[in-house]
Amino acid sequence: MPTTSTTTTLADRAAALDAADALAHVRDRFLLPEGVVYLDGNSLGALPAAVPAAVEDAVHRQWGTDLIRSWNANGWWEAPVRTGDAIGRLVGAAPGQVVAGDSTSVQLFNTLLAAARLRPGRRLLLTDPDHFPTDQYIADSVGRLLGLDVRRVPAREAAAVLAAEGRDVAVAAYAPVDYRTGELHDMAALTAAAHAAGALVHWDLCHAAGALPVRLDAIGADFAVGCGYKYLSGGPGAPAFGYVAHRHQAEFDHPLTGWHGHAEPFAMSGAYAPAPGITRARIGTPPLLSLIALEAALTAYEGVDMEALRAKSLSLTGFFQECADSLLDGLGFTMATPREPARRGSQVALRHPEAYPLIAALTARGVIGDMRAPDLLRFGFNALYLTHADVLHAVGELRSIVTSEAHLAAEHQQRPTVT
């Protein structure tokens, strides 16, 4: 049982860590609700302060006054590539390799199928059995369409399978961060293993982009996708992004050939001719209001060094684990997230048989996380706006709920549609 001195020591450490935080000023770039500790930015990011004015301008001036002229006058046509380049700076991609627009599922299908087409004659598509469900569904769909065998191989075993059977593998489709546990995999090593076998790699960056340094160009990545509404904080349903390495763009043969990716879109030709470069990865008319919101949200990263962000993220997640060890010991929790910094993304997951009512009770107290079936409590850490004091408060509230059995109340037992 923790003593008062233990809690005081943790509070002193939190205060010292926050006082030394070189990114503390960035918190002011977000509109955070009073009295809320938001630990669900790995699912939906908090509202950046730059977004409301940008959306208001888009609605009232650009749409309301300038009307269709905004495609030219306000840069609507260029927005997918312009926003893509801004995302590219966060994921280690030189300009001209990232495009924003459409949903993650659409971007995933478009790029994964195109990747597989670049390796004809190879019959295997590898994916992770622990991948987010959509990734697995779309891998199966691509397999059916192209006659590929989809094999589910855990990320930790993929390099060995590639070494043994790599000549048959067209694409290895993985995520650097396990969406459930926050475990971080070695992107560079897996990419190198795939390339050594002549295969391509497709990365899902949904739980990595904006949370930690991603070096797509440096590791020789082939294709990647990611969403705009988690750590990038682009808002509910924000457009996703797709990355196509320069060396693959000329042969990028994707299935969804929309008119925005045409070489001469306003020629209105009945035959598709792909535009040069990353523009060919565009599909149809983007959701402009959401795209404008995402572009504004990305300004929260201005002047932020991704290595410094990673250092703070590791400090926050490590401090959470330390607080959990001290305050939750003996209360039925087990740590699901690796303790080694190099194997930890920007979230921490705890296992507990009563995960849902615990999260519901926490939310009622203004500490917002989420859960994943059957027994995971997930806590996401956006280092742009969270503090170590937030971390200690969250774990303290969790301890209070368990010891008082507040989570057993009837109102915390009924599960809503979204958990």
Respond yes or no: is residue 38 known to be catalytic: no
* Amino acid at position 315, single letter: S
For residues 399 and 296, give the distance between their C-alpha atoms in angstroms, rounded to a whole number.
38
3-state secondary structure at position 371: strand
Looking at 132, 180, 325, 365, which residue is catalytic? 132
Looking at 229, 231, 356, 385, which residue is catalytic? 229
125 DSSP β-pair partners: 150, 171
**What's the sign of the alpha-carbon dihedral 146, 149, 154, 157?**
negative
Place of tokens 């087409």: 117
3-state secondary structure at position 339: coil
For residues 315 and 218, give the distance between their C-alpha atoms in angstroms, rounded to a whole number.
25
Residue 377's alpha-carbon distances to 198, 347, 397, in angstroms, are 39, 10, 14
Is residue 281 packed enough to be buried (19+ CB in 10 Å), middle (13-18) or exposed (0-12)?
A: buried
CA-based nearest residue to 296, from 57, 73, 92: 57
3-class secondary structure per residue, 82-99: HHHHHHHHHCCCCCCCEE
Residue 43's alpha-carbon distances to 83, 236, 272, in angstroms, are 21, 10, 37
Question: Does an H or E element contain 367, and which?
Answer: strand 367-368
372 DSSP β-pair partners: 376
Looking at 29, 119, 230, 372, which residue is catalytic? 230
Q: 301 CB contacts (<8 Å, ≥6 apart)?
A: 89, 90, 210, 384
Looking at 378, 379, 385, 399, which residue is catalytic? 378
Helix spans in 267-305 (H):
288-297
Q: 180 CB contacts (<8 Å, ≥6 apart)?
A: 130, 336, 349, 372, 376, 378
Q: Which two tokens stand for residue 104?
A: 């993650």
Respond yes or no: is residue 69 known to be catalytic: no
Under DSSP, the state recorded for 61 is I
Looking at 130, 135, 168, 204, which residue is catalytic? 204
For residues 361 and 89, give the distance between their C-alpha atoms in angstroms, rounded to a whole number.
39
Respond yes or no: is residue 230 known to be catalytic: yes
For residues 385 and 32, give the distance between their C-alpha atoms in angstroms, rounded to a whole number.
9
From the CB of residue 267, how many other CB atoms can be counted at a distance below 10 Å?
9
Question: Catalytic site residues?
Answer: 132, 204, 229-230, 378
